[in-house]
Amino acid sequence: MPPRRVGAAAARGEDHIGALPDDLLLHVLSFLPAHDAVRTCVLSRRWRPVWKSLRVLRFTKHQSWGSATKFNRFANSVLFFRNRAPLEELTFETYMYDAINPLVDKDQKNERVKYAQKWIMYALTHNVQVLRVLVNSRLSRPQLRPVPLLRLSEPLISKHLMTLELKSVVLTSNSMDFSSCPALKNLKIRHSKIWVHKISSQSLSRLSVKNCEFSGDICTQILAPNLSSLLLDVRSGRLPYFPSAVLLVKAHIRLDQYCRDRCWHSNFEHCAHDTCVDCYGNNDRSAKCVLLRGLSNAKNLELAVQFSVYIQNRAAAIFKRDMKLCPIFSNLKTLVLNGWAVACELDALICFLQHAPILEKITLQLNGLNYDVEMRESCSSNEKIALPEHLKLVEVRCQKIAENVHRFVDVLNAYGITSDIINIVEMDV
């Protein structure tokens, strides 16, 4: 192999990267994890102080430190020795906690989030714009959710914060009151417990709540009038609701079968029990829809339920009730129903269609065919409805085209949805 040619500048020991302006160097270092960015201080005297002015700090790859104590010591040292430059972003992933490891005692468990509150306060006092608080915990069985270790109960105060991401935390008291964060636009919460009376923000435009547990005793209100994008994935507890409509463009709602909001007295139709603890919303909840009422401005809407057995599926009951009582969806153009449409009585869907005058496309996604399809045998021409004028396509998606899929299409025909706009699509398993 011929010898490699070394550039003249390199041969003379010149550092062209180090000769770049500080702002450009800091921009380059902002793409590195914090421990790699700090290591550049050993390159030369020129590089020694550069990391102290970093505006983006990402404390990641926590496991490489060998212990939570070492990881915390490093993060604290970086925050102590850096200068007073404002922060654009602070991301920290706590050291991993294995909930079933018998070798992990209580002190080691607490060490993982020992300084989390201080790091959050440091970020807020340094005008952080993007804050990600990612608590890492796990169980041996993947079907179980991670164990939240960090509890937040006080509201954040920052006029600069624009994006907030939380993972595996317990949110209580007034922690979700963002009235003191007037610039907040994006809020993302994952694998957390949300035990608050309200999530409120006048500025929030994007909200993502994924794989979260709400309280079984509190009905959480979402007060975000300027919300344009919503992903709401509720695994258990009581369903949050919108007391008034928001300016949504896109909404994706996914409910687990363990949602508590189901009236056992009347199958969520008309509850006459004033003391019923399993209804949701306000005192006149028996006459109003609560979830869909707040989404009535949406242009694109997806409703999904993890299917089991309809008679036991509380989430399906919630959608069924709300679709019968929903307001006019005057902006809705696309509707996706995932996993529950076949299990529910179709009259709820038909009722909904009459409240969506400009709807163009419906997608009915049938996830698996391992359940019994209960269709009304009484469908007749007398039950046909006036379809939305703009409706061009009803797409039925399934893993396998079988007899009960064709039977489902026959029922749609009986309601007046003609075969020329129905398209059956077989999905890959």
The 10 Å Cβ neighbour count of residue 122 is 19
Q: pLDDT by residue (tens digit) across 81-135?
A: 999 889 999 999 988 776 666 455 555 667 888 899 999 999 999 999 999 999 8
pTM: 0.83
- Whether residue 215 contacts residue 197, with contact meaning beta carbons closer than 8 Å, is answered with no
Start-to-end C-alpha separation, the chain: 51
At residue 217, the pLDDT reads 78
- Whether residue 329 contacts residue 276, with contact meaning beta carbons closer than 8 Å, is answered with no
Backbone angles phi, psi at 282, to 5 degrees: -115, -170
Measure the CA–CA gap between 315 and 254, rounded to whole angstroms: 9
Backbone angles phi, psi at 154, to 5 degrees: -100, 145
Beta-carbon contacts of residue 237 (< 8 Å; ≥ 6 apart): 194, 213, 214, 215, 216, 259, 260
The DSSP 8-state label assigned to residue 83 in this structure reads -
- Whether residue 287 contacts residue 320, with contact meaning beta carbons closer than 8 Å, is answered with no
Buried/exposed 296-331: b ≥16 CB within 10 Å, e otherwise: bbbebbbbbbbbbebeebbbbbbbbbbbbbbeebeb
At residue 161, the pLDDT reads 97
At residue 145, the pLDDT reads 57
Backbone angles phi, psi at 293, to 5 degrees: -60, -40
- Whether residue 166 contacts residue 186, with contact meaning beta carbons closer than 8 Å, is answered with no
SS3 call for 324: helix
At residue 281, the pLDDT reads 42
Q: pLDDT by residue (tens digit) across 183-193?
A: 999 999 999 99
Q: What is the largest CA-CA distance in the chain?
A: 91
At residue 306, the pLDDT reads 67
Measure the CA–CA gap between 130 and 187, rounded to whole angstroms: 10
Q: Which run of H or of E encompasses 222?
A: strand 221-223
At residue 169, the pLDDT reads 93
- Whether residue 285 contacts residue 263, with contact meaning beta carbons closer than 8 Å, is answered with no
The 10 Å Cβ neighbour count of residue 410 is 12
- Whether residue 247 contacts residue 226, with contact meaning beta carbons closer than 8 Å, is answered with yes
Tell how far CA 121 is from the center of its chain.
24
Residue ranges of the chain with per-residue pLDDT less than 70: 1-19, 98-109, 138-148, 257, 261-290, 306-317, 339-345, 367-385, 401-404, 429
Quickly list DSSP for 45-57. TTTTTGGGG-SEE
Domain ranges, ordered by start, for the chain: 237-369+383-428
Q: Which amino acid is at 343?
A: A
**Closest CA relative to residue 385, chosen from 425, 414, 405, 358:** 414
SS3 call for 284: coil
Measure the CA–CA gap between 316 and 323, rounded to whole angstroms: 11
Measure the CA–CA gap between 252 and 234, rounded to whole angstroms: 11
Measure the CA–CA gap between 265 and 276, rounded to whole angstroms: 8
At residue 284, the pLDDT reads 45
